[in-house]
Amino acid sequence: MNAEFIEALKEIVMEKGISEDLIFETVEDALVSAYKKNYAKVGGNLQTVKVTINRENGELHVYTSKKVVEEVEDPLNTISLEAAREISPRFDIDDIVDLESTPKSFGRVAAQTAKQVVIQRIKEAERKVIYDEFISMEFDIITGTIIRKEKNNVFVDLGKIEAILAPTEQIKGEEYNFNEKLKLYIAEVKKTTKGPQIVVSRTHPGLIKRLFELEVPEIYSGVVEIKSISREAGSRTKISVQSHDENVDATGACVGPKGVRVQTIVNELKNEKIDIIKYDKMPEIYIANSLSPAKVVEVSINENNKSAKVVVADNQLSLAIGKEGQNVRLAAKLTGWKIDIVSESQVSL
C-alpha cells in the first residue's frame, strides 16, 4: 500500500465520519487473516501474528510473536533465550520477541484485502448514519414519495432509504399512485444485517396524533392535550382532547377557524371521518361525549367491571350504535369502558 492509498483512505474516513483508529485496526486485523491464509506454513495459522501499517506512507510490516524460553519445543511460537539475545541483549525468559516476516509479495494481497475491508466499513458506517437518523424519528411523521408497487407492498422513497408500506399498514381502499407524496408514521426502526429497516404506516393511531400536532399549535405547545385516540383507518377516528387553559376551547382549537385545521387532516387521510371529543374526568360525561354525534339522555356506570349503561332517545339509537356498531365500538375503545346502549322505550318496558 502506498501513500496515495493512505491519503485516499483518510479522506474517506473523514467524509464518512468513521474513526481513523477503528478503520486502521480493522484493516490490520484483516491483514493478519490474509497472511495466515496465504503465507503461513503448515500449522502457521496457530502462530501469533500482528500487522502494522504506517499511517503516513502506507508501509506495512508483518511480525510473528515468539515467547522467550530456555528450551524450544514449539518453534512456531517460541524462541531460545540465546537466539533472542542475539537480537537484543535486553530480552529475558518469558519476554515476547516480534520477528519480522513480511513476504515480498504481500503488498498486493494487502492492498486487495484493505480495499475489501474499507468498502465493508464504509457500508457499515453509512448504515449506522441512516439508522441513527431514523431512530431519532421513530414514532414521528415523515413525507415519502411512492416509487413502485410490488404485489401488495408499496415502496416509498424517504430520501436516504426506501421503506415498505405493508398491506397491513395500508388504509383499506386508499390508492397509492407512482410519484405521489404522502405522510407516513414511522412505527418502528429495525437493525438488520442488510441495514436499517423502516416500518411505516398509514393506519397507526400515532399518525392521527402527529397530524394534529402539526396542524394545531395548541396541541404542539401543550396547552391542549390529546388524551386518547381510537381509529378504524380509512373509515372513522375518535380523538379526545383536554385543555389546560380555561380560556382555550380544546375542541374548537382542533377544529380551527371554519373547520380548516381538521379538514386539512381529513384531506390527508382521504376523507376519513374524525370526531373530536371533549375529555372529562367524570366517566359519565366522558362516555356521553364519546358517543357523538348521538345525543345521550342518561349514563349509569358500574365501577367494578368498568361498564356503562347508556340511554338515548329512540331516534338516536341507530346513530349512537353506528353502522355495524362502529360508533359505540370506537367510543368504548376511546374511553376504556364497556358500553351498552338502550333506547328510552326499551328502558320503560
d(CA 288, CA 309): 10
Q: Mapping DSSP to helix (H, G, I), strand (E, B) and coil, where does residue 16 land?
A: helix
Which residues contact residue 9 at a Cβ distance below 8 angstroms, ignoring those fewer than 6 apart?
Answer: 23, 114, 118
Same domain, 10 and 110: yes
Given 90, 106, 134, the domain boundary residue is 134
pLDDT at 201 over 80: yes
Same domain, 181 and 252: no
Same domain, 289 and 275: no
Give the CATH number for residue 150: 2.40.50.140
DSSP letter for each residue of 247-261: TS-HHHHHH-GGGHH
Same domain, 128 and 9: yes
d(CA 186, CA 136): 10
Given 227, 245, 279, the domain boundary residue is 279
Predicted model pTM: 0.72
Same domain, 16 and 117: yes
Same domain, 90 and 197: no
pLDDT at 43 over 70: no
What confidence score (pLDDT) does residue 31 get? 86
Q: Are strands 153-157 and 141-150 parallel, antiparallel or unpaired?
A: antiparallel
Same domain, 50 and 119: yes
Same domain, 273 and 246: yes
> What are the pLDDT digits (tens) for 262-278?
999 999 999 999 999 99
Given 279, 297, 327, the domain boundary residue is 279
Same domain, 189 and 72: no
Same domain, 212 and 192: no
Same domain, 195 and 211: no
What confidence score (pLDDT) does residue 231 get? 97
Cell 496457530, located at residue: 46
In which domain, by residue range, is 224 found? 204-279
44-58, 146-160, 331-345: range with lowest mean pLDDT:
44-58
Q: For residues 296 and 317, is the Cβ–Cβ distance under 8 A? A: no
> What are the pLDDT digits (tens) for 216-259?
999 999 999 999 999 999 999 999 999 999 999 999 999 999 99
Give the CATH number for residue 209: 3.30.300.20
Cα 244-250-256 angle, rounded to 5 deg:
140
Q: For residues 141 and 186, is the Cβ–Cβ distance under 8 A? A: yes
d(CA 92, CA 99): 16
